[in-house]
Amino acid sequence: MSLPAEDDLGSLERARERLYGRAIDPHVRPLLTNADGEDLPHKWEEDPFQQAIRKGKRHVRLASVFLAAATLFFLVSLSVTVYVFYMGGNSVSVNKIVLNVQGPTTVAAGNPVPLLLTITNENPAAIQNATIEIDFPNGTREATDTLQAYPRYTENLGTLASGATVTRSVSAAMFGGAGQTLIAPVSFSYSIPGSNAVFVKKSSYALTISTTPLSLSVGAPVETVSGLPFTLTFTVSSNATVPLNGVILTGAFPFGFTVASSSLPMNNSSFFLGTLLPGAQSTVTLTGTLSGQQSEQPVFHFTVGTAKTAQDQTIAVAYMTQDVAIAITAPFISTTLAVNGDTSPNVVVTSGTSQSVTLSYTNTLSTDVTNATVSVAISGAAVDYNSVQTTSGFYQSADHTVVFSQDTDPALATLASGASGLGSFTFLTLPASALTSAPPQITFTISVSGTRVGQANVPEQINSSMTQTATVETSVMLSASSLHTSGPLSDGGPVPPRTGQTTTYTIVWNALDEGSPIAGASVSTVLPSYVSYTGQTAGTGSFSYDAASRTVSWDVGSIPQGESVQGAFQVSFTPSSSQQGNAPQITGVASFSGYDRFAGVQISTTANPVTTETKGDPGYTSSFGTVQ
């Protein structure tokens, strides 16, 4: 069965035709009319899809215009940038400053170094306040006068026009060790008109020292034990073709270094070597000790050069410097020596007395020490060597050494790690009167030796030594006496003294220095209440009297070694009836005080009070001092 013709269109198609078709059913009234009954324009008079397409086309045209304008602006900006960068315009750049420094790459220390500076302004505009500066290495000197320091070259070149070139010649004498490279920074600064900014162009000049007129080599141990003496050996060689005058070697020593001796006299920390001929060498040795903690590494700084004059040994031109580092390590056997219980490095002892010495030792290694020997050598003019005695060691009188070994202490055959021991001995110091010909000092040199197993598991000998000193303080003999008829002052009054009558006496003080020189010596005493100070004096030094404390003081000053000084003053005494039959005191105890220049200590002594007994007067009898 066939469908009707209208059915050839689907219902959907018919709806579409009615919806979008332009034909209007005459039987259907329009939905929208105006007041006159005219049809309003249909909202979809045009296909909505076509309208959307037209609107889209307008948006595309506006974006294209914007894109074209942005592209044009970018191209213009890029062109301007390229022009300014490559053509420069009126801009100024440090990249267009050409700074060249020409000179030798190697030179012998002390020889003049000629430098040629070339500065070119390739900027399209002028620059102003142009300044060139060279900072020379430390120790640089003027080429024409090596005594004058030349730390810096500076010159203001003023204004440099565009394309201008300036050259300068500079000469300087540079110093350093052989093979050392010296760097001299070079800078060129300038400004531009209308600006406060300063522009800087930097460069540098490098120079290697080939040889030095004077070379220095230092021989030193890599490590040492704190307090153990060691020796530094200096070898100064002349590489010059002419004699060098006023050669000097100076050293800067680290804290804790103490000089013991040197092969040449040392002025502060300098050795004056004088004149060195071409190719000649001079050797100096310096022995000392370092004090410090284990693992410290003090650094010595040595410089060789020429002095200003033979009198002024300040180094004028330094040719070479050398640094030496020495590590402080612990001794394999540590020792502690005590004199009368005092372990300080410089002990002060008294002359003519017995001294007790103890020596303790400890194995500080992690391994045992076999055949250990600890010895103490005694030296010095203050020792009575015949008095040395020991119960735990053996005294070798031939070399004045007390030895502690396995022969006297079996424990020293194998001193275990961490093990300790103790030895002792005694001796007498000589009287002060016997110490005037040599410094009253005692030196103890402690030596330790033994065998240990080394790092290669092979037995090796180990040795170390150290020194300690003791100083004998000087001895002063102070005496006090009274005189009436034979003193340096004129005395009056009855002798024997009588009750109610005044008698004057001369008090005489004598001080004898039996040992080292004494400084700041003085003597004082306090007068009893019944004695008066007259003010009459005589002898060395000066006297003074303090009435409030009733103290008479004698300012002696210095007393040379082995000499004596004397001073006298006068007092008056009026006895009372309660003193009849007695010989009263007319001064108190006399006290001496002074400074031992050698031992560096204060010393003191006293003298007994003085009475009316004038035993030094001719014809004196015991009755002369008794109050009648």
Question: pLDDT (tens digit, 9 = 90+) per residue, 546-557?
Answer: 999 999 999 999
Residues of the chain scoring pLDDT < 70 = 1-62, 79-90, 177, 242, 310, 330-331, 435-439, 453-462
Measured distance CA(511)–CA(541) in Å, rounded: 12
Which residue, among 344, 336, 385, has the nearest Cα to 601 in the 3D structure?
344
Is 306:315 a contact under the CB 8 Å cutoff? yes
Angle value at C-alpha 306, between 302 and 310, nearest 5 degrees: 115
Instruction: Spell out the residues 6+ positions from residue 609 whose beta carbon is closer than 8 angstroms to its own.
Output: 480, 525, 585, 587, 588, 589, 590
Residue that is written with structure tokens 């100024």 in the block: 92
Looking at residue 149, the DSSP 8-state letter turns out to be B
Instruction: Let me know if 305 is exposed, middle or buried by CB neighbors in 10 A (0-12, 13-18, 19+).
Output: buried
Measured distance CA(504)–CA(385) in Å, rounded: 51
Measured distance CA(174)–CA(209) in Å, rounded: 9
Is 218:230 a contact under the CB 8 Å cutoff? no
590 forms beta bridges with 607
Is 262:286 a contact under the CB 8 Å cutoff? yes
pLDDT of residue 167: 94
Are domains 333-473 and 476-625 of this chain identical in fold? yes
Question: Any idea where the domains of the chain sit in the sequence?
Answer: 1-87, 94-209, 224-328, 333-473, 476-625
Beta-carbon-side half-sphere exposure of residue 181 (alpha carbons within 13 Å): 6
Is 599:516 a contact under the CB 8 Å cutoff? yes
CATH number of 476-625: 2.60.40.290
Which residue, among 415, 385, 412, 413, has the nearest Cα to 401 in the 3D structure?
385
Measured distance CA(175)–CA(150) in Å, rounded: 12
CATH topology of domain 94-209: Immunoglobulin-like (2.60.40)
Q: How far is C-alpha 172 from the chain's CA centre?
A: 31
pLDDT of residue 517: 86
Measured distance CA(198)–CA(573) in Å, rounded: 94
CATH 2.70.70.10 for the 333-473 domain, yes or no: no
Measured distance CA(168)–CA(347) in Å, rounded: 67
Pick the CATH number of 224-328 from 3.40.190.290, 1.20.1070.10, 1.20.190.20, 2.60.40.10: 2.60.40.10
Is 448:411 a contact under the CB 8 Å cutoff? no
pLDDT of residue 522: 95
pLDDT of residue 3: 46
Which residue, among 139, 319, 102, 321, has the nearest Cα to 211 in the 3D structure?
319
